[in-house]
Structure 1
Amino acid sequence: MTSHIQKIVLGSGCFWGAEKGYESLPGVMNAVSGYSDGLDVEPSYSVITKPKNKFNPHNHAEVVEITYNTNFISTEILLKHYFESHDPTQLNKQGNDVGTQYRSIILYTNEDQKRDAEKVIAIYQELLNKFDYGKIVTQIKSLKEFHKAEAYHQDYIKKNPNGYCPDHSTGVKFNIPNKSDAPNNQSLKEGKYIVIIEPQDYCFYCEKFKSETLNDYSGSIPVIFRLASQLGQLKIKSPTWATPTIIFLKDGEEVFGHQGIMSSKEFYQALGFFKLGKSEAYKVAFEDATDRRFCKEYNIFKNTPDGIFVDKISGVPLFDTRDRYNSFSGWLSFTKPIDGAVYSKPDNSNGMKRIEIRSTISDIHLGHVFPDGPGGLPRYCINATVLEFKKRSN
């Protein structure tokens, strides 16, 4: 191995999230989950997790073997990421994971790595002291042998996309931001907000949640991102060590929360209840109910100015006033939806054969489509209570 290609083995609790975090760093060529630093204990997951080995000082630690190019990432920078991504003051545990397999440990492969580890620990201890953390208990040892973990542990986060990334970090960074840079949560103490707790570093599940759900969201309840260490002034009941954690906040106080990733359907149903409660609109959107004919919302929306009707939950545009007409049915009627905004499915409920219309993004029930519109066009018969109106901007 050339001198600029090096290996180091790091233990910081459960290796699943740690492995993914290292892989996200520029200059890291490979990260492999495994076991190391054990004595007379078989290096396998089934053995190191046996109750008799939970507090065995000779048990193997869950570790990650990192291969990196020092031309692109120094050992010092790699170790700073390591310390920022867990709590090195916890002995034989990280959060709810308790046992010697979760110990904080650095296993170096050359003396330069050892010196860098000692240097970084000294710097980080001073920073932790300022925030009233205890003594760093990370062990520094020479690597004797690394045992690759079972195949199902490798790239575990990628293979299991519906979960969460544990975040046991202290929140203390090597480059400490000014206190004035910390977010002010005073504005969150009035009204409703969705607070997403994310980690200091990369989180696969957070990025998946953003790309699959939040990127399409444009609803009226704002989405706010915070670290677990940035929740001052707020009354949060949920544990904050898992990312993402999704908090539905009203007037600065958590109404309910969810640890880990949510599917789009789960997110929008939770958001629907948060926004609408057990109202008629909620029953229409999520229980397939139907507005009363000539309901209040219908009378408001039947003669709006030029504009767009949007999904009441996701905020996504659904129908255009230019396609609206008066069918005299008592429900809003359109000749077509905005392209891609809705989908249809058979509905044989209540002894009738109809075609149901649902929102593509939030999957809420919108109404039905019939073949009796003007000039041979369809009639999209839509419940007004699940819509909001936005006047068209010039």
Structure 2
Amino acid sequence: MTRGFKTRYPASRDGRGLLARIALPGGGLLLGATLLVSGLIFAQSPGKTLPVAEPVAEKAEQITLGMGCFWGAEKRMSELPGVIDVVSGFAGGERSNPSYRQILADERRGRQKNHAEVVRVTFDTGQTSLERVLAGFWEHHDPTQGNRQGNDIGSNYRSAIYFVTPAQEAVAQRTKARYQLALSAAGYGAITTEIRPLATFYPAEEEHQDYLRKNPDGYCGLGGTGIRYPMETGAAAEATVEPKQGEPPLSGGDLEAERQLIVFEAEGCGYCALFQTEVLAHWESPVPVRSTRSARPPTGWKLAEPLWATPTMVLFENGHERARYTGYSGDAAGFWRWLAQLTLSPETFDIAYAQATEAPYTGALLDNRRPGTYVDPVTGVALFRSDAKYKSGTGWPSFFQPIDGAVTMHQDSSHGMRRVEVRSASSGIHLGHVFDDGPPPTGKRYCINSGVLRFVPDQEL
């Protein structure tokens, strides 16, 4: 089991890969633990009747930790300095040699104390300490949630520390007390972490080991509450140390109270960087947006529930969460559709995503003659200029050419006709159709629905 090297993974999102597991961007699994006795690791795997002894480095120590889904826990703990190896498995329950499916079935039945999904962490005591490892444990999940972690609900997702020596128990209890001070100062409730001696650790099936390395789009937790663990600086300072907190929240007074999108990120989150590159770097949407690495809402504002993965995009209205989009793996069109459903009228959304058509001569922009730019109502990206608009007599706004790269063309055989559909390149929404009966110089008629256009006069640019 011990591989002798630190496993590293690309930072992972929890968006629609998680969705497959919990019907929301979510998902998760389990992992195992091991005993350290006289320099040997005793591991027990499903189907093995005898313990397997594996040598470890002279300065190696192990602790078994439950942080919710063990996919994300394995990734988070493997990234800590001094950690040699992380193995996923099960501990703390009554069933012998459990499989993952049995854990899920036991949770549904509730007939016995179930195992928790855990990770067995091996670390080099010459490079780090148990306190520092537990600091990472406390910071990378929310230990106040009881039998759940984020959207993963059940006793198998409980927070837990399973120790093998009295010295480990003492450090676990001491770090719990210190972190409770920091959490209480930030308004969090009581820590519910189970702290017990490790009876037996059962490694999970191979498919759950190094899961996020094998499945980069799989579930990865947010990384905790955003509250820093106050490291001990000596016995004299222990009673007076001030709790360190994560990045402070945004100031609610500096934001748009009526409607504001907040992107919650985390350090080292590769999918956060991807969202920055693919979406935020080109943001022109009429919805104002701000990013933060704090897991707390802007001051004076309220989240509907704690965050549990990054990136998480939350739309606030009047200081309260209206909706959230958790996770991102390159599906920009999916994100824009989510935002469109929240910000467009039902009629406009029907045109944009159900290819509906507004009645002729009813569009508000049909007879608009002012100089300006017609933009995508979701992304704000420019689509057509007013000097390309002309009166076609068809009953819909018509243009002889779009702005370069602003639209895409798609074959459309609906309604028994063969047409060429026009979509916005930035959001993918349906705009209308293009025909070959337009004026020079292109000879094209881009017949576009008013409802999926937002007009920005030149004087406002």
The interval holding the TM-score normalised by the smaller chain is 0.7 to 0.9
Choose which of 364, 381, 390 in structure 2 pairs with 1:326: 390
Amino acid across the alignment from 1:221: V
- Tell me how large the CA RMSD over aligned residues is: 4.3
**Paired positions, count:** 383
Aligned to 1:194: 261
Aligned to 1:363: 428
Aligned to 2:367: 299
Contact 1:205 1:261 in 2 (8 A): yes
C-alpha spacing 1:121/1:201, structure 2 compared with 1 (3 Å): farther
Q: Distance in 2 between matches of 1:100 and 1:290?
A: 50
Aligned to 1:272: 340
Pair 1:97 & 2:162 matched: no
Choose which of 407, 422, 432 in structure 2 pairs with 1:342: 407
Amino acid across the alignment from 2:318: D
User: What is the CA-CA distance between 1:163 and the residue it aligns to?
Assistant: 7.4
Aligned to 2:250: 183
Pair 1:250 & 2:314 matched: no
Q: Which runs of 5+ in 2 are unaligned?
A: 1-55, 231-242
Task: After superposition, give the CA deviation of every residue in 1:301-348 in whole Å (9 maximum; x if it has no partner).
Answer: x4415xx543220123334567x2536445231334422x32211123
Q: Distance in 2 between matches of 1:179 and 1:83?
A: 13
SS of the counterpart of 1:19? helix
Aligned to 2:179: 124
Q: Distance in 2 between matches of 1:354 and 1:112?
A: 74
User: What is the CA-CA distance between 1:123 and the residue it aligns to?
Assistant: 2.7
Q: Distance in 2 between matches of 1:240 and 1:256?
A: 13
Choose which of 216, 221, 224 in structure 1 pairs with 2:287: 221
User: What is the CA-CA distance between 1:15 and the residue it aligns to?
Assistant: 1.4
Pair 1:139 & 2:176 matched: no
Q: Distance in 2 between matches of 1:240 and 1:148?
A: 30
TM-score normalised over the length of structure 2: 0.65
Bigger Cα displacement from structure 2, 258-267 vs 39-48: 258-267
Q: Distance in 2 between matches of 1:321 and 1:159?
A: 50
Q: Distance in 1 between matches of 2:371 and 2:275?
A: 35
Pair 1:313 & 2:378 matched: yes
Contact 1:55 1:100 in 2 (8 A): no
Q: Which runs of 5+ in 1 are unaligned?
A: none
User: What is the CA-CA distance between 1:391 and the residue it aligns to?
Assistant: 4.3
Contact 1:14 1:102 in 2 (8 A): no
C-alpha spacing 1:172/1:278, structure 2 compared with 1 (3 Å): same
Amino acid across the alignment from 2:206: A
TM-score normalised over the length of structure 1: 0.75
Contact 1:354 1:368 in 2 (8 A): yes
Name whichever structure is richer in helix by fraction: 1
C-alpha spacing 1:201/1:315, structure 2 compared with 1 (3 Å): same
Determine what percentage of the aligned residue pairs are the same residue.
32
User: What is the CA-CA distance between 1:354 and the residue it aligns to?
Assistant: 1.5
Bigger Cα displacement from structure 2, 265-274 vs 376-385: 376-385
Contact 2:86 2:121 in 1 (8 A): yes
SS of the counterpart of 1:51? helix
Aligned to 1:12: 67
Contact 2:82 2:125 in 1 (8 A): yes
